[in-house]
Amino acid sequence: MINWQRIEVASNRPYPIFLGVPLEGLGEYLQTRSLTFDNILIISTPNVADRYLDRLMEGLKDFVVNTLSVPDGEEQKSLARIAQLTTEAMGLGVDRRTLVIALGGGVIGDLGGFFASIFMRGIRLVQVPTTLLAQVDSSIGGKVAVNHPAGKNLLGSFYPPMAVWTDFSTLETLPWSEVQNGLAETIKHALIADRDLFEYLEKNLEAIRRRDMTVWKEMAGRSLAVKVKKVSEDELEQGSRALLNLGHSFGHALETELEYKGITHGQGVSAGLVAAACLANSRGMLNSAEVERIVNLLKGFDLITKVDTGALERLMEHMKGDKKNQAGKKILILPKGLGLSVIVKDCTDQEILLAWQDVT
């Protein structure tokens, strides 16, 4: 029985995503591509490397492999860490014929990917995502970046990998709070373009909570298919890729207000999805029963649907800095029923303020 799948991502440089493949099998695939590189640099974090590096190395016995370790944490996505990686890579003899494997969650994917995109003007890259968020979202679409004190992901590029290698079994060791981050993005994907996925999540809530891997694979496969579709339609985010920001304009404002403390990204997105749903409801795009279903699904995964901050004016202020805004106008993504979202350019501050009031 074939239990793995290959999905092609349309891009300036198209690439495959391999789903349900074992970490040990990556080496065999790389043998078929080895004309383009002659040594490998794995970038990972101890948390992930301790669990999964041996399995990956199992398949890489015929290659010259070096490994660089990066501590855990969003703050590692920095130019200082890129400089450090460069020094270490030069010490290891990394050159233009090196392939980088980013083994880890979205932080390693973004950091390792950005490193690969600029080291010697760009070297080959394979993404091996190990969190739910990275598997359904960040490893797909070619965005790589580091942060700057002036903003998250401010310095980055579009750098499609040679391949994405996704072994779902790595999810078995993921802590629940990290699972929630991926679930929030999965609910977002369902609301953007897949009503069946929304209903699948509702129906399988308990199975997902008890980590039924058969259900997780189905859920992750459907979720990432939405991301693949959107980035394939609009790789450089000139139009419809912006739909992937559903819930994020509100969520980022919240994370900024709370200085990224005491709130995970998934919780920010969750509250953001509720705010977007309430705004859509006020415009007649979503009925009250549908808003309730969204709220119930989020709550079912212990995601927040209300936040305890009275700082409405400041939340409004933070939304002014949203990257999607055009000529001072706030651009929002709103759900239109369950399973379809649209870009809305004419929301007034009053409407947005009322949506904030619904979640605070």
Ligand X SMILES: NC(=O)c1ccc[n+]([C@@H]2O[C@H](COP(=O)([O-])OP(=O)(O)OC[C@H]3O[C@@H](n4cnc5c(N)ncnc54)[C@H](O)[C@@H]3O)[C@@H](O)[C@H]2O)c1
Q: Which is nearer to ligand X, 49 or 286 (CB)?
A: 49
314 catalytic per annotation: no
241 catalytic per annotation: yes
CA distance 136 to 185: 8
Q: Which is nearer to ligand X, 164 or 174 (CB)?
A: 174
Run of H or E residues at 262: none
CA distance 42 to 104: 10
Residue pair 260/321 in contact by the 8 Å Cβ criterion: no
148 catalytic per annotation: no
CB under 6 A: which stretch of 106-114, 252-260, 287-295, 324-332 binds ligand X? 106-114
Q: Which of 98, 117, 127, 130 binds ligand X (CB under 6 A)?
A: 130
Q: Which is nearer to ligand X, 241 or 356 (CB)?
A: 241
Run of H or E residues at 25: none
Catalytic-labelled residue, pool 77, 188, 222, 227: 227
Q: Which of 26, 57, 77, 197 binds ligand X (CB under 6 A)?
A: 77
Catalytic-labelled residue, pool 77, 81, 124, 143: 143
Interface with ligand X includes 141 (CB under 6 A)? yes
Six token digits for residue 151: 């903003």
Catalytic-labelled residue, pool 3, 12, 61, 121: 121
Catalytic-labelled residue, pool 178, 181, 235, 245: 245
Interface with ligand X includes 235 (CB under 6 A)? no
Mention every residue, 6+ apart, whose C-beta is less than 8 A from residue 209: 300, 301
* AA letter at 45: T
* AA letter at 10: A
Q: How many residues sit in the footprint of ligand X (CB under 6 A)?
A: 27
Q: Which of 48, 53, 68, 125 binds ligand X (CB under 6 A)?
A: 48
The SS3 call for residue 244 is helix
Catalytic-labelled residue, pool 77, 81, 185, 281: 185
User: Residue 7 — φ and ψ, nearest 5°?
Assistant: -120, 135
Q: Which is nearer to ligand X, 99 or 128 (CB)?
A: 128
The SS3 call for residue 99 is strand
CA distance 292 to 310: 23
CA distance 330 to 279: 13
Burial class (CB in 10 A: 0-12, 13-18, 19+), 355: buried
265 catalytic per annotation: yes
252 catalytic per annotation: yes
CB under 6 A: which stretch of 5-13, 19-27, 174-182, 203-211 binds ligand X? 174-182
320 catalytic per annotation: no
CA distance 154 to 157: 10
Interface with ligand X includes 181 (CB under 6 A)? yes
Six token digits for residue 9: 């991502």
Interface with ligand X includes 277 (CB under 6 A)? no
Q: Which residues are known catalytic residues?
A: 121, 143, 185, 227, 237, 241, 245, 248, 252, 265
Provide the binding-site residues for ligand X, judged by CB under 6 A. 45, 47-48, 51, 72, 74, 77, 104-108, 110, 130-131, 133-134, 137-138, 141, 143, 153, 170, 173-174, 178, 181
